[in-house]
Structure 1
């Protein structure tokens, strides 16, 4: 299980372009093996090197940490966008002077109360462990990552410009507020880049206006355009703006709500069952496979709900709510709910 999580984490750190290249390389080596080119033991060596390279990514993260002579520090929320940012900076040849800080906590889900204290982080981890499948492996390093986050912020040199990036979703918006709060003790200038606005300005077809909710939706070329055209002074956070966002973070971190959404320019706490009716409606719209006795794979239900949700949400949270619907007697289950791929559900028939 831990190895599976390590693989998932390594893949999540890749940019879209790097992930495609890795997949293409793996497929080429598999084709070579399939067609009998060379000895099997020789043919597997490139695949092993690819695997070792991906798993070894955490060892390379240090090259992105703030250093005394860096000119900019980019603060991003989530490994997916971090991978895209690294790729864009490397393509521009800026990686020596532009460094990166990544916030990885799943801010949209789980209680945030007291998260800036060891006791609060422990309580948060326990909630995630008790409600989110595989959380014991996925979030076991939250404490270590928080301490490293504080160290990275302290490493920011006084002269560096800090750029905080955020998208139109609760995960990034809450994370952005946390970042601004943690930067409160630094005298650096802080600029705020909204990737929703950037995408609509630089990546939308003149005939079709696209909607961007997540920073990860920006293409690498668009991100490079944004970086080359960046003028931090145009998006500079004034002291009043920084103070307001820090206060908004304090308000978020005083509440024990398990779920947050992004609505009308605000991070809002909503009931834990916010997505339940939506999940049931999504289930009703799926045609069960022949011979399934009406059961539908939980992974299919969650995948479809995740893909069409108006909010940028967390598939693991949706899976937690599917299990809660089973416990509440609204769904029947077949299989073992150890993970979404292991069981199926259907509406409980009314007697």
Structure 2
């Protein structure tokens, strides 16, 4: 690090941080004189202090950049958020921030999710029901809480754009976020990616409906955003209506939601079970023609088949959870370990 650059980084430190680091150096100088603390260890520790100054200054610099953004985008899923970041980069848009939840809001309890008991209830469900490692769960929990904090910390003069397709996952997320923002006067715009994709990329000879925003590649998100900046903002009445819809959802204790006739509907957790069984039967019929009818099928093969035909967006993890429930009910036989989808195969019981 250049001397002048180091000088600037030190100037970024407040009095408490500077005094603490100086004390650490003096403490080690005293240890060097009065104990068996070696010069090598002293140099090693000073180097770490040097790195700490660099790290703290860089963090402060990043926070300053964060505070300078002029628009915030909120999406539901890592995939659409990543695609939008690529699109914004291509547009050379540097002062727009992208926030996203990794969550799947069509599944799991959303009862009182805007309050601590509801949040903990959802975390407990995710931890016990979904087939995930503890480390993955901790990452999920931390990311969820960080995103909520970032949304609540958006300055009141910064416009917000919410990207949502017509599915229970993103539409539930939309209503949850609007409730989080209920006391903020920010301008809020909602981009309906299902409608906008059809508007900008409709081809008469191809029937295609965007199921979720993550299906749209960056170059098409770029077009949608560039041509949608003039879309009308949510009115106060529209915001209040959506916030009220959230409060209704947050009173329901069911753990599965679907999108039907332009609305979110809460359904029983076994709603897709018969569809899974039907697709498994169809696969086995196909395998009969190949002489493979009695063989076990990889669980991922069945889940993939269900996803390919399902007109709802719930994700493979939830469908795999339901497959495990069908195994428990003795509808499927299993071969292998249920620790993760890749470790086991199934077949319908005769």
> Common fold, TM-score beyond 0.5?
yes
Q: Which runs of 5+ in 2 are unaligned?
A: 1-57
Q: What SS class does the counterpart of residue 185 from structure 1 fall into?
A: coil
Once the two structures are superposed, residues 111-160 of structure 1 have per-residue CA deviations (whole angstroms, 9 ceiling, x without a partner) of: 11122222222221221222211163433244433432233124323332
Match of 2:313 in 1: 312
Report the 3-state secondary structure (helix = DSSP H, G, I; strand = E; otherwise coil) of the residue aligned with 2:342: helix
What RMSD over aligned residues (CA atoms) do the two structures have, in Å? 2.4
Equivalent residues of 1:132, 1:316 under 8 A apart: yes
Asked if 1:132 is matched to 2:130, the reply is yes
2:227 paired with 1:226: no
User: What CA distance in whole angstroms lies between the structure 2 residues aligned with 1:224 and 1:64?
Assistant: 27
Q: Name the structure 2 match of 1:205.
A: 203
Task: Tell me the alpha carbon deviations over residues 218-273 of structure 1, each in whole angstroms, 9 at most, x when there is no partner.
Answer: 222221112212234x3311011101111111111222111111111111111111
Q: How far is 1:308 from its partner?
A: 1.6
Q: Tell me the secondary structure at the aligned position of residue 160 of structure 1.
A: coil
Q: What's the secondary structure of 1:345's corresponding residue?
A: strand
Equivalent residue, structure 2, for 1:294:
295
Deviation sequence 1:286-337 (CA, Å, 0-9, x none): 1347567332111111111112211122111111111111111211112221
Cross-structure match for 1:34: none
Question: What SS class does the counterpart of residue 160 from structure 2 fall into?
Answer: strand
- Residue deviations 1:2-41 (CA, integer Å, cap 9, x gap): xxxxxxxxxxxxxxxxxxxxxxxxxxxxxxxxxxxxxxxx
> Normalised by the size of structure 1, how large is the TM-score?
0.76
Using the size of structure 2 for normalisation, the TM-score is 0.76
Secondary structure of the corresponding residue to residue 66 of structure 2: coil
2:262 to 262, 265, 278: 265
Report if aligned partners of 1:125, 1:142 keep a CA contact under 8 Å in 2: no
Residue 64 of structure 1 and its aligned partner are, at CA, apart by: 10
Cross-structure match for 2:236: 239
Aligned length: 288
What does 1:17-56 correspond to in 2, within 5 Å?
Answer: none
| Structure with greater Cα Rg | 2
Residues 1:209 and 1:294: Cα distance change in structure 2 (over 3 Å): closer
**Counterparts in 2 of 1:1-351, with a 5 A limit?**
67-94=66-93, 96-134=94-132, 136-232=134-230, 234-286=231-283, 287-288=286-287, 293-349=294-350
**How far apart, CA to CA, are the structure 2 residues paired with 1:185 and 1:310?**
35
Give the 4+ runs in structure 1 shifted more than 6 A: 62-66
Cα drift, residue 67 of structure 1: 3.4
CA contact (8 A) 2:109 2:122 kept: yes
Deviation per residue, 1:92-124 (Å, 9 max, x gap): 000x22111212222111111122222222221
Select between 279-288 and 126-135 the one with higher mean Cα deviation. Answer: 126-135
Whole-angstrom distance in 1 between the partners of 2:319 and 2:77? 19
State the alpha-carbon separation in 1 of the partners of residues 256 and 197 from structure 2.
27
Q: Tell me, in whole angstroms, the C-alpha distance in 1 between the residues paired with 2:319 and 2:207.
A: 29
Q: Residues 296 and 346 of structure 1 are in contact (CA less than 8 Å); yes or no, is this contact kept in structure 2? A: yes
Q: CA deviation at 1:161?
A: 1.5
Asked if the contact 1:66/1:73 (under 8 Å) is kept, the reply is no
Distance (whole Å) between structure 1 residues aligned to residue 65 and residue 225 of structure 2: 18
The more displaced of 153-162 and 135-144 is 135-144
Q: What SS does structure 1 have at the residue aligned with 2:147?
A: helix
Q: Which sections of structure 1, spanning at least 5 residues, go unmatched? A: 1-58
- Distance 1:122-1:284 versus aligned 2 partners, 3 A rule: same
